[in-house]
A = this chain, B = another copy of it.
Amino acid sequence: MYNFSFQNPTKLIFGEGQISKIASSIPKDKKVLVIYGGGSIKNNGVYDQVSAALAEHQWSEFGGIEPNPGFHTCLKALEQIKADGSEFLLAVGGGSVADATKFIAGAACFDGDPLTILTEGAKVRKALPLGVVLTLPATGSESNPNGVVTRYETQDKMPFYSRALYPQFAVLDPTVTYSLPEKQVANGIVDAFVHTIEQYLTFPVGADLQDRFAEGILRTLIDNGPKALSEPKNYNVRANVMWSATMALNGLIGLAVPQDWSTHFIGHELTALHGLDHGQTLAVVLPGMMEEKREQKREKLLQYAREVLAIEHGTENERIDRAIEETRAFFESLGVQTRLSDYGIGENDIPPMIEALKKHNMVALGEHQDVTPEVSAAVLKRCL
Contacts and interface: CB of A to CB of B under 8 A. Distances in A.
A115 interface: no
Interface string A1-18: 111111111111111111
7 contacts: A3-B18, A6-B12, A206-B236, A208-B220, A208-B240, A209-B247, A239-B256
Contacts of A210: 243
B9 A14 contact: no
A194 B123 CA distance: 44
Given A1-B236, A4-B14, 10 more contacts: A2-B15, A3-B16, A4-B15, A5-B11, A7-B9, A7-B11, A14-B256, A207-B236, A210-B243, A212-B213
Given A2-B15, A15-B2, A223 B208 contact: yes
10 shortest interchain CB distances as A-B pairs? A3-B15, A212-B216, A206-B236, A7-B11, A209-B220, A1-B239, A208-B220, A208-B240, A6-B12, A5-B13
A374 to B, nearest CB: 35
Nearest to A212: B216
Contact of A1 (B3, B13, B15, B21): B15
A6 B11 contact: yes
A216 B253 CA distance: 12
Interface in A354-373: none
Interface residues of A, number: 44
A179 to B, nearest CB: 20
Interface in A236-253: 236, 239-240, 243-244, 247
A2, A16, A205, A206: which has the most chain B beta carbons within 10 Å?
A206
A219 B223 contact: no
A111 to B, nearest CB: 26
Interface in A13-67: 13-18, 21
Nearest to A247: B209
A3 B239 CA distance: 10
Interface string A167-199: 001000000000000000000000000000000
A255 interface: yes
Contacts of A217: 209, 212
A13 B4 CA distance: 6
Contacts of A262: none
Given A7-B9, A9-B9, A216-B216, A240 B14 contact: no
A209 B256 contact: no
A5 B169 CA distance: 10
Contact of A7 (B10, B206, B219): B10
Interface string A195-237: 0000000000111111011011101100110000000000110
A1 B14 CA distance: 10
Given A213-B213, A215-B212, A220-B212, A3 B14 contact: yes
A134 to B, nearest CB: 14
Nearest to A13: B5
Nearest to A21: B5
A38 to B, nearest CB: 28
Contacts of A208: 219-220, 223-224, 236, 240
B16 A240 contact: no
Interface in A241-297: 243-244, 247, 255-256
A213 B211 CA distance: 10
A299 to B, nearest CB: 15
A245 to B, nearest CB: 10
